[in-house]
Amino acid sequence: MNGAQIILEALQREGIDTVFGYPGGANLPIYQHLPEYRSLRHVLVRHEQGAAHMADGYARASGRPAAVFATSGPGALNLVTGLCTAFMDSVPMVVVTGQVPTAMVGRDAFQEADVVGCTQPVTKHNYLVTRVQDLPRVMREAVHLATSGRPGPVLVDVCRDVQQASCEPSWPEELDLPGYRLPGPPDRSRLEEAARALDRAERPVILAGHGVILSRAEPELLALAERAAVPVGTTLLGIGAFPVRHPLSLHMTGFMGTGWNLRAVQEADLLLCVGMRVDDRVTAKLDEWAPRAETFIHVDIDPSEIGKNRRPHIEVVADARAALGGLAELVTPPEPERRRLWLTRIERWREEHPLRYLRSDGQLQPQDVVIEMYRRCRDRAIVVADVGLNQIWAALWWNYDRPGRFLNSGGAGTMGFALPAAIGAKLACPEQAVWCVAGEGGFVMTAQELSVAVEHGLDVKVVLLNNFSLGMVRQFQDDFYGGVRSQVGLHVIPDFVKLADAYGLAGCRVERLDEVPAAFDFAERTPGPVLIDCRIDPEANVYPIVPLGKGLNDFRELPDEYA
Amino acid sequence: MSTRERLRVLTAVVQDHPGVLFRVCGMVRRRGFNIQGLSVGPTDQEGRSRMTLAVDAGHAEVDQVAKQLDRLVEVIEVRDLTEEPTLNRQLALVKLAVTGPHRDRAVAEVDRAGGRVLDAGPEHLIAEVSGEQERVERLIGSLRPFGLIEVARSGPVAMSKGIPKRIAEEVSHA
Ligand SMILES: Cc1ncc(C[n+]2csc(CCOP(=O)(O)OP(=O)(O)O)c2C)c(N)n1
């Protein structure tokens, strides 16, 4: 076997079935042997960034990792944004890049770049392989590291001569990673302590992050919340960890979270955060966050997340599922009377601070579009949002009941994520309807991947919430930067229906609310990808929103005159 | 907090793979910490190196430096020695351009400060001094008037005093 075959064989052995990739000088040996490996489905992307986002969407939708191939230099560097996106959101991915031949490394050879150096900050781990006999071990380690513990992307950079060198592979039985330890079961006494704190709390709140979804801990979260009668909010990436329509749901937290969620977080005397980083989009101004929480309990699989931003009173380093399951058993269900006051207060906040938007017969409101989509698909669809206002509308105006139904780039906020990630999600879950929601700004950043959807006949329905501007930046400028609208107008954009046509997919345009149902009928009727260009109110905003630099208490709602 | 108060002294046992030093330094920089002193050397175990780092933790919580180091796959064990009784040593080589009567006084000064003359020529002396950072700095200062032309200093090497409980138990069982 040669190195290229070992790489392909290793992926196959590890159960990876899909590769998103792009060939070039430094990975041609891999492509030469690819056809021998029939169980590996290769998807030829149109830009390497698309490959990383597709593998990302694939893993977020299915929980299974995919592989990514790229050539050296510019090919590998085009992956960096996609790696960062996956890394920030703890998404597993195995990336194999070609590197110049061993003897050329360090000489500024054609298409040489220090890929291991460039990708170190955006991968969980990475390797440069200069000896073919190392490949079986490195490939096994790469898959193990990517998928275990707190998942993340792992990159293996392989010199071209190594891909061509022969060796009889010896596949390691055991991995020897002395510096990589996975957390064991949660510390019993910490869980006891947390359970007693929950028993004592008058105004408890649970916040759930992506970690709950990654560890498939939704049943345990539901059991804990119901047993202890504790309301549950989620982060943007935690959406789906707890059913939005559940009576105990606080919906989304953070600087664009729901008013009743923010009130509850700010009033809580106990806050239990599970599988989340407690980052600035969740806390807004950190020293004004959850000021009344006498007990802050933080559960995370990554010890470095605990105490990074706010020091907890009780910390549990463990997988979310084990910790929540343990807690659910240990808590004592409160007398219904005991929680009534707190839950009634939350109910009142829900009524005082409902999600609102501008109702208008004139211009199309984005929320109306999302609501119509939801009415049709309920929880049968996977919604992949891009970044910007469209992302928050899709997060807030849909009642997600299950995990893996709302995918978006939370930590990195990468515009251009949605279309390729939706393609990846569709390939992972062909039986699910997949809707891609994007602004016209982010969409054009990776629009070339439409060809992939067409080539594979993928039923990905693209809904553009087209406001002819970089909407979220425009809102920030209006609200926080003196109303100076600077470089946010996208006055010259393609005719998206013609663009769809040029790429070989069906498209239509919607300008009024009453045209929406027909457009969705058309999209649902038409097999394969469809693009709907929704010309929405260019002034539509996201509310509530916490002004930059302010605390959660200062959230602003839709001004009354618009409601 | 002053830089001094934010300073953490850590030791890390790492796999001695190519690029490990780059990974450790990159992580320290990315997290907004700053390396004030660093030394690396082999351990008595094959394939393992030991690093001593003096790190300014910046605005981070004090345990973040150790936790972030520990996250690196090739870092096997991290200890934060800042709060423990620790021995912390540095080494310096000092070259002086000295002739005539200065020379004897310089040698006497090196002696007085507990240093050692390693090399002597007609026009120069090289002295070695080791100890806590302050001591090394004091000696260098006291030699300055004698025509100091070059100083080479190592980073810190640190070790906690006593025997950790775990190892003490193993030893007593043996
Ligand atoms: C790659 C990248 N560049 C810049 C930004 C900053 N940014 C955040 S939201 C936004 C506007 C997005 O506009 P559009 O895609 O039209 O979506 P809208 O907000 O209008 O829904 C920008 C520029 C980003 N998140 N990602």
Closest among B94, B70, B71 to B151, alpha carbons compared: B94
Q: Which carries the bigger pLDDT value, residue A17 or residue B104?
A: A17
User: Tokens representing A406?
Assistant: 């709302």
The verdict on a CB contact (< 8 Å) between A308 and B64 is yes
Cite the residue boundaries of each domain of chain B with CATH code 3.30.70.1150: 87-157
The verdict on a CB contact (< 8 Å) between B72 and A145 is no
User: Tokens representing A396?
Assistant: 């807030």
* Cα–Cα distance measured from residue A408 to residue A384, given in angstroms and rounded to the nearest whole number: 6
Strand bridging mode A433-439 / A460-466: parallel
What per-residue confidence (pLDDT) applies to A362?
Answer: 82
**Beta carbons of A465 and A389 less than 8 angstroms apart:** yes
Chain position carrying tokens 């021995």 = B87
**Does the CB of A114 have a partner CB in chain B at under 8 Å?**
no
pLDDT band at B5 (very low <50, low <70, confident <90, very high): confident
Task: For each of the domains in chain A, give its residue range(s) and CATH number, in order of start.
Answer: 3-164 (3.40.50.970), 188-352 (3.40.50.1220), 366-542 (3.40.50.970)
The DSSP secondary structure of B18-60, one letter per residue, reads TTHHHHHHHHHHHTT-EEEEEEEEE-SSTTEEEEEEEEE-TTS
For residue A539, give every residue at least 6 positions away whose Cβ sits within 8 Å of its Cβ, in sequence order, or none.
none
For A481-506, b where at least 16 C-beta lie within 10 A, e where not — what string? eeeeeeebebeebeebeebbeebebb
The verdict on a CB contact (< 8 Å) between B73 and A116 is no
What per-residue confidence (pLDDT) applies to A417?
Answer: 99
Closest among A199, A195, A149, A200 to A317, alpha carbons compared: A149
**Beta carbons of A271 and A290 less than 8 angstroms apart:** yes
In angstroms, the first-to-last Cα distance of chain A is 68
pLDDT above 90 for B2: no
Residue range A462-504, pLDDT digits in tens: 999 999 999 999 999 999 999 999 999 999 999 999 999 999 9
* Cα–Cα distance measured from residue B126 to residue B144, given in angstroms and rounded to the nearest whole number: 13
**Beta carbons of A138 and A90 less than 8 angstroms apart:** no
Q: Tell me which of A236, A387, A392, A488 to substitute to probe ligand 1's pocket, judged by most ligand atoms within 8 Å of the beta carbon.
A: A387
Strand bridging mode A433-439 / A381-385: parallel
Residue ID of nearest Cα to ligand 1 atom 3: A415
CA A423, A409, A27, A149 torsion-angle sign: negative
The verdict on a CB contact (< 8 Å) between A304 and B64 is yes
Q: How far is B65 from chain A (nearest CA, A)?
A: 9
* Cα–Cα distance measured from residue B170 to residue B174, given in angstroms and rounded to the nearest whole number: 6
Q: Which carries the bigger pLDDT value, residue A41 or residue B18?
A: A41
* Cα–Cα distance measured from residue A440 to residue A438, given in angstroms and rounded to the nearest whole number: 6
pLDDT above 60 for A418: yes
pLDDT above 90 for B99: no
* Cα–Cα distance measured from residue A114 to residue B143, given in angstroms and rounded to the nearest whole number: 44
pLDDT above 60 for A326: yes
Chain A residues in contact with B76 (beta carbon < 8 A): 178-179
CATH of B87-157, one of 1.10.3720.10, 3.40.640.10, 2.60.120.10, 3.30.70.1150: 3.30.70.1150
* Cα–Cα distance measured from residue A11 to residue A140, given in angstroms and rounded to the nearest whole number: 9
H or E segment to which residue B126 belongs: strand B124-131
User: Tokens representing B57?
Assistant: 């933790």
CA A72, A75, A80, A86 torsion-angle sign: negative
**Beta carbons of A252 and A246 less than 8 angstroms apart:** no
Q: How far is the CA of A472 from the centre of ligand 1 (A)?
A: 6
Q: What number is the average pLDDT over the span A346-357? A: 97
pLDDT band at B163 (very low <50, low <70, confident <90, very high): confident
Strand partners, A465: A439, A534
CB-nearest to A311 from B61, B74, B77 is: B61
**Beta carbons of A327 and A198 less than 8 angstroms apart:** yes
Cite the residue boundaries of each domain of chain B with CATH code 3.30.70.260: 3-83
Planar angle of CA A532, A536, A537, nearest 5 degrees: 175
Q: Tell me which of A53, A465, A466, A470 to substitute to probe ligand 1's pocket, judged by most ligand atoms within 8 Å of the beta carbon.
A: A470
Chain A residues in contact with B60 (beta carbon < 8 A): 308
For A528-559, b where at least 16 C-beta lie within 10 A, e where not — what string? ebbbbbbbbbeebbbbbbbeeebbbeebebbe
Q: Where are the beta strands (DSSP E) in A339-475?
A: 381-385, 406-407, 433-439, 460-466
* Cα–Cα distance measured from residue A57 to residue A93, given in angstroms and rounded to the nearest whole number: 10
Residue range A115-162, pLDDT digits in tens: 999 999 999 999 999 999 999 999 999 999 999 999 999 999 999 999
Q: What number is the average pLDDT over the span A293-314? A: 97
CB-nearest to A179 from B64, B67, B74 is: B74
Q: How far is the CA of A470 from the centre of ligand 1 (A)?
A: 6
The verdict on a CB contact (< 8 Å) between A303 and B22 is no
pLDDT above 90 for B173: no
Per the document, the length of chain B is: 174
Q: How far is the CA of A385 from the centre of ligand 1 (A)?
A: 12
| Residue A361 region by backbone torsions, left for phi larger than 0, else alpha for psi between -120 and 50, else beta | alpha
- What type of residue is A230? V
Q: For residue A309, give the DSSP letter.
A: S
* Cα–Cα distance measured from residue A78 to residue A113, given in angstroms and rounded to the nearest whole number: 12
pLDDT above 80 for B171: no
Ligand 1, pocket residues at CB < 6 Å: A 386-390, 413-415, 439-442, 465, 467, 469-473
For residue B39, give every residue at least 6 positions away whose Cβ sits within 8 Å of its Cβ, in sequence order, or none.
B51, B52, B154, B155, B156, B157
Chain A residues in contact with B15 (beta carbon < 8 A): 178-179
pLDDT above 70 for B35: yes
* Cα–Cα distance measured from residue A217 to residue B59, given in angstroms and rounded to the nearest whole number: 34
pLDDT above 60 for A508: yes
* Cα–Cα distance measured from residue A268 to residue A55, given in angstroms and rounded to the nearest whole number: 39
pLDDT above 90 for B15: yes
For residue A362, give every residue at least 6 positions away whose Cβ sits within 8 Å of its Cβ, in sequence order, or none.
none
Indicate the burial class of A257 (C-beta count within 10 angstroms; 0-12, 13-18, 19 or more). buried
Residue range A245-288, pLDDT digits in tens: 999 999 999 999 999 999 999 999 999 999 999 999 999 999 99
**Percentage of chain B exceeding pLDDT 90:** 70
H or E segment to which residue B152 belongs: strand B148-153
CB-nearest to B15 from A145, A179, A311 is: A179
User: Tokens representing A477?
Assistant: 């400028």
pLDDT band at B170 (very low <50, low <70, confident <90, very high): low
Closest among A121, A65, A86, A129 to B72, alpha carbons compared: A121
Q: What number is the average pLDDT over the span B92-114? A: 89
* Cα–Cα distance measured from residue B167 to residue B174, given in angstroms and rounded to the nearest whole number: 11
What per-residue confidence (pLDDT) applies to B165?
Answer: 73
* Cα–Cα distance measured from residue A254 to residue A286, given in angstroms and rounded to the nearest whole number: 11
pLDDT band at B172 (very low <50, low <70, confident <90, very high): low
Give yes or no for a cis peptide into A544 (omega within 30° of 0): yes
Residue range A25-50, pLDDT digits in tens: 999 999 999 999 999 999 999 999 99
**Beta carbons of A260 and A250 less than 8 angstroms apart:** yes
For residue A219, give every residue at least 6 positions away whose Cβ sits within 8 Å of its Cβ, in sequence order, or none.
none
Q: Which of A310-314, A495-499, B139-143 has the lowest mean pLDDT?
A: B139-143
pLDDT band at A414 (very low <50, low <70, confident <90, very high): very high
* Cα–Cα distance measured from residue B127 to residue B118, given in angstroms and rounded to the nearest whole number: 5
CATH architecture of B3-83: 2-Layer Sandwich (3.30)
pTM: 0.96
Closest among A503, A397, A522, A398 to A451, alpha carbons compared: A503
Q: How far is A382 from chain B (nearest CA, A)?
A: 33
pLDDT band at B164 (very low <50, low <70, confident <90, very high): confident
What per-residue confidence (pLDDT) applies to A215?
Answer: 96
pLDDT above 60 for B174: no
Q: What number is the average pLDDT over the span A386-400? A: 97
User: Which atom from ligand 1 is nearest to the alpha carbon of A465?
Assistant: 21
* Cα–Cα distance measured from residue A384 to residue A293, given in angstroms and rounded to the nearest whole number: 34
Q: How far is A216 from chain B (nearest CA, A)?
A: 23
**Beta carbons of A282 and A262 less than 8 angstroms apart:** no
**Does the CB of A203 have a partner CB in chain B at under 8 Å?**
no
pLDDT above 60 for A183: yes
Task: State which residue of chain A sits closest to B27, comparing Cα positions.
Answer: A121
pLDDT band at A359 (very low <50, low <70, confident <90, very high): confident
| ipTM for the whole predicted complex goes beyond 0.85 | yes
**Beta carbons of A464 and A442 less than 8 angstroms apart:** no
What per-residue confidence (pLDDT) applies to B62?
Answer: 80
Averaged confidence pLDDT in chain A: 97
**Percentage of chain A exceeding pLDDT 70:** 100
Interface of A with B in 476-495 (CB under 8 A): none
